[in-house]
Amino acid sequence: CHLIHYLRLSHHLIVLNYLICTFDKLQDVSSEGIKITDAVFDGVEVRVFEPPAKGDESLKRGVVYIHGGGWALASARISLYNNLCRIMAESLNAVVVSIEYRLVPKVRFPEQYHDALRATKHFLQPDVLAEYSVDPSRIAISGDSAGGNLAAAVCQQLSKEEDLAVRPKLQALIYPVLQAFDFNTPSYQQNMNVPVLPRHVMVNYWIDYLNGSYDLARELLVNNHTALNVGRALSFRARLNWTALLPPSFRKNYEPVVQTTGTAAIVEQL
């Protein structure tokens, strides 16, 4: 993939995503009676999973799901997420809306977030919920990895909007990507070279998402972008002080990496 990118035949993420979708061979999970349809919510493609009616229950739960993949890979339509959403729809008796947001490198931050927000707000409209027989008081927003990042951002934004008639009741994040402040947390240090997501690859996903330069990767890996002399990082440092926030079982013997002098310009370049 990187050779193809180097030869300028295509972007390596496009090639990798093509391979993922081409060799997507997971067996479909059998979920009897689940209706699956593709739709467009406010210009954003979604896949909707609807369980059959159960007895005298007139309204179902609702789940908005946002898939992972570094903002660049995977799809709501591949078998992994198709199976997951079918299982959720069946086990929760919920209408599941899986968002097919646009990917890097076609678009970059903040377009993935905008896609997720538009599709979610469309689904939360009372008339749309009524169309799918969804209880407005029982709606969750969920996502994994980069999708967890988008789900958290969508929930934050919805909490600020005063004119919404319907709001989500629950946020369920699965190993979400929530910060690019410290690439030397205990989990990053412990798993820095572990497949399939070593630390340098995660840094590159952030760079691709923010349309930055790969030349910045080395400085991000050693936290030069949040050094003590980087004024814009000061307000976030206490919020992400894992030496105080994590219990000893997670901190283990890892030490924080805080540079005295870093590169403030990285924040502007990302």
DSSP per position, 49-116: EEPPP-TT---EEEEEEE--STTTS--TTSHHHHHHHHHHHHHHTEEEEEE----TTTS-TTHHHHHH
Q: Which two tokens stand for residue 240?
A: 């992400």
- What is the chain's mean pLDDT, rounded? 92
CA distances (Å), origin 92, targets 66, 111, 113, 123, 182: 17, 30, 26, 18, 36
List, for residues 156-182, the tens digit of each pLDDT value. Answer: 999 999 999 999 999 999 999 999 999
With respect to residue 105, please indicate whether it lies within any of the assigned structural domains: yes
Among candidate residues 75, 98, 142, 145, the one labeled active-site is 145
Do 105 and 222 sit in the same domain of this protein?
no
142 among known catalytic residues: no
**244: in domain:** yes
Could you say which of 174, 203, 229 is where a domain stops? 174
Tell me which of 132, 147, 174 is where a domain ends: 174
- The model carries a pTM of 0.92
Torsion of CA 78, 84, 88, 90, to 10 degrees: 80
Residues 189, 45: Cα–Cα separation, whole Å: 37
C-alpha span between 42 and 250 (Å, rounded): 42
Q: What is the CATH number of the domain that holds 137?
A: 3.40.50.1820
Report CA-CA distances (Å) from 86 to 65, 139, 262: 11, 17, 47
- Residue 103's Cα: distance from chain center in Å? 11
The residue ranges of the chain whose pLDDT is under 50 are none
According to the model, what pLDDT value does residue 2 have? 61
Nearest to 166 by CA among 97, 120, 98, 133: 120
The answer to the question of residue 64 being in a domain is yes
Domain carrying residue 39: 2-174
pLDDT (tens digit per residue) in 14-47: 888 888 888 887 776 667 789 999 999 999 999 9
